[in-house]
Amino acid sequence: MKVLVGLSLLVFLVGVSYRLYGWLTQTVLTTDRTASPGRLPSALKGLMGTVFSGELLTLVKTFFTDVLFQKRLLSKSALRWAAHSLIFFGFIALLLMHGLGTGVSEFFFSDYLSTMQPYLSLRNLFGLMVLVGLGIAIYRRLTDKPQRVKSYASDWLAIAMVGAIILSGMVLESSKISSYSAFTTMAEDYGDITEPDELMPLETYWAAEHGLISPNIAKPYDPALIEEGREIAGDACMECHAPAQSAFISYSLAKVVGPIVSGLGDEGMVNFLFYLHIIFCVGLLAWLPFSKMFHVIATPTSLLINGVMGFKEPAKDPANELNRRMIGLSACTHCGSCSELCSSLMFYESFQNDFILPSEKVQILKKVAAGQNVDDQTLANLQKGLYICTSCDRCSEVCPSGINLRELFISSRYQLLSQGIPETSMLSHFSFPLSLTRNFIDDHKNALKKLEKIFKESFTRLKDLTSVTVSDPVQVGTTSYQSCYSCQRCTNICPVVRLYDDPEAELDMLPHQIIFSLGIGNKEIAMGSQMIWSCSTCYLCQEHCPNKVELTDIFYNLKNAAIKQIEGGRA
């Protein structure tokens, strides 16, 4: 067992070292990689500057308010805070009072003895806390409608591993309570009781009141032997063993587990359950650095850094800003809080692109940062998800790990646009909130020009026509355009048209001309018009049309058809 624990600890340390190295070298932005060599000295300088300054008080305050008591999470969701607190405090208490062995437990509790009170009851209480917390987490993932909280196999595996440790520990304890071999070992080793005239009363007492399943004694138990055994237990056992009922869950579980363990051979089953419990524990230890469970280290680190630096303030040293960004990626617990409150949810529900959800963007950006291969279609979906993001910053506000998601998404968006295929949605009014981003104005303009060029090269424009032909009516989701009788009221009332001195030169086609083109069956020049992208969707044209032509809806259909044609040609 010591070899197994030692190996798992070694794997854990190697894994943590690898993740720390990633914090100081990885980035989702290839242009930032040149800063990697200076990131370790910057991190050490920042750490020393915090410890030996007045910011140390801020660090201590952040530790208690944000790390231990999760103030940010409580302010957003009491249910999630309850789940986190039950799991965190329950597991940490079990670790200190039981999991790390008597040496550590005795350091914190001078009178510690695992079979005595209050430790026997507390062990069950803390285990129950973890199970209740896991139950809340499972309930939340299964009942989120529409399904905005995505669950990967790694999420369920993390829940299963923690649950398996707690349940296997409870089953092990219940098997020991009912085990005859464990009883005889205890009586011989600790009570020095081997004579039948003492062993039989003690055995009867433990069977009657402590859940022991004995092959030698059957109900109804002799009251006289019970009382005699009680006296023997008081002299030989109770000094170091509280009543088994104190383990209120394990004692109740022993009534179900006991007969099964006894039937299968209790000594062998107790040993099997012991090693099974140990395997779950060391397995979690070894797996932790390579799984989403690494957030138990990354999230506190992220919260402490942000507590000192400021959750929204950029670091003075660009290298430390990169360090914080990478630690933030590791700190993501994939809880889905950001996705539940994302202002782009309407687009997710329409497009069914998972990468519109903030929590899913983070998962794939982790792979990009780690240099893992990501297929072209996934990158295309990620790019669209990054662009549809409105940069409203609600995700950063609700993130319990304190990750600056807005800055991460904006940076990643323009990095992908600079090295990949232009995002077709850029011609829509999604561009407006992004143009307000001060750090990437030039990047946005360049990406937009590149995309406009592609559209101009992909469609025939009105001024390029040398002849006009009449074809069959086109499909644009409605036939209302056939009711147009050329009053031009749509163009006259359009605020976009009135914006320009020479609107035809700026917009290619005016609203009534687009309807004309559809009437003669030429959808191609309508899709190539700048007008459909400049339309402010104010619906004035549609509201004032005397023949109820659905111009704004038609423009939407034309935009979607243009994007589909561009992206279809791309494939």
In sequence order, which residues have a C-beta less than 8 Å from that of residue 146 and are 6 or more positions away?
A: 349
- How buried is 485 (Cβ within 10 angstroms: 0-12 exposed, 13-18 middle, 19+ buried)? exposed
Task: Give the Cα separation of 176 and 94 in Å (integer).
Answer: 19
pLDDT at residue 486 in the model: 85
Does 204 have pLDDT greater than 60? yes
pLDDT at residue 428 in the model: 65
The confidence band for 569, taking pLDDT boundaries of 50, 70 and 90, is low
Residue 174, SS3? Answer: helix
Token readout for 267 is 């000594």
Out of 204-208, 432-436, 504-508, least confident range: 432-436
pLDDT at residue 571 in the model: 35
pLDDT at residue 55 in the model: 84
pLDDT at residue 31 in the model: 55
SS3 annotation, 255-274 = HHHHHHHHHHCHHHHHHHHH
Give the model confidence (pLDDT) of 253-293 as tens digits: 998 988 888 888 888 999 999 999 999 999 999 999 999 89
Indicate if the alpha-carbon torsion angle 108, 113, 117, 120 is positive or negative: positive
pLDDT at residue 429 in the model: 58
The confidence band for 433, taking pLDDT boundaries of 50, 70 and 90, is low
Distance between alpha carbon 245 and the CA centroid of its chain, in Å?
A: 39
Task: Give the Cα separation of 344 and 24 in Å (integer).
Answer: 32
Q: What percent of the chain is predicted at pLDDT more than 90?
A: 33
CB 345 within 8 A of CB 148: yes
pLDDT at residue 417 in the model: 76
The confidence band for 430, taking pLDDT boundaries of 50, 70 and 90, is low
Out of 215-219, 400-404, 465-469, least confident range: 465-469
Q: What is the largest CA-CA distance in the chain?
A: 116
Task: Give the Cα separation of 407 and 130 in Å (integer).
Answer: 35
Task: Give the Cα separation of 281 and 168 in Å (integer).
Answer: 10
Residue 240, SS3? Answer: coil
pLDDT at residue 434 in the model: 52
CB 512 within 8 A of CB 546: no
CB 548 within 8 A of CB 484: no
Does 195 have pLDDT greater than 80? no
Closest CA relative to residue 155, chosen from 332, 369, 279 = 332
pLDDT at residue 111 in the model: 80
In sequence order, which residues have a C-beta less than 8 Å from that of residue 42 and are 6 or more positions away?
A: 317, 319, 320, 323
Give the model confidence (pLDDT) of 225-244 as tens digits: 888 888 888 877 777 788 88
- Could you tell me which residue, 462 or 80, shows the higher pLDDT? 80
CB 518 within 8 A of CB 463: no
Does 219 have pLDDT greater than 90? no
Count of other CB atoms within 10 angstroms of residue 540: 17
The confidence band for 14, taking pLDDT boundaries of 50, 70 and 90, is very high
Ramachandran class of 192: left when φ > 0, alpha when ψ lies in -120 to 50, beta otherwise:
left
Q: What percent of the chain is predicted at pLDDT more than 70?
A: 93
Give the model confidence (pLDDT) of 301-355 as tens digits: 999 998 888 877 777 788 888 888 899 999 998 988 888 888 888 788 777 788 9
Task: Give the Cα separation of 97 and 435 in Å (integer).
Answer: 55
Give the model confidence (pLDDT) of 347-360 as tens digits: 887 777 889 999 99
Does 36 have pLDDT greater than 60? no
Token readout for 173 is 């304890």
Give the model confidence (pLDDT) of 511-544 as tens digits: 999 999 998 888 988 998 889 988 988 999 999 9
Out of 95-99, 191-195, 471-475, least confident range: 191-195
pLDDT at residue 281 in the model: 93
Task: Give the Cα separation of 184 and 182 in Å (integer).
Answer: 6
Mean of the per-residue pLDDT values for the chain?
A: 85
Indicate if the alpha-carbon torsion angle 490, 493, 495, 499 is positive or negative: positive
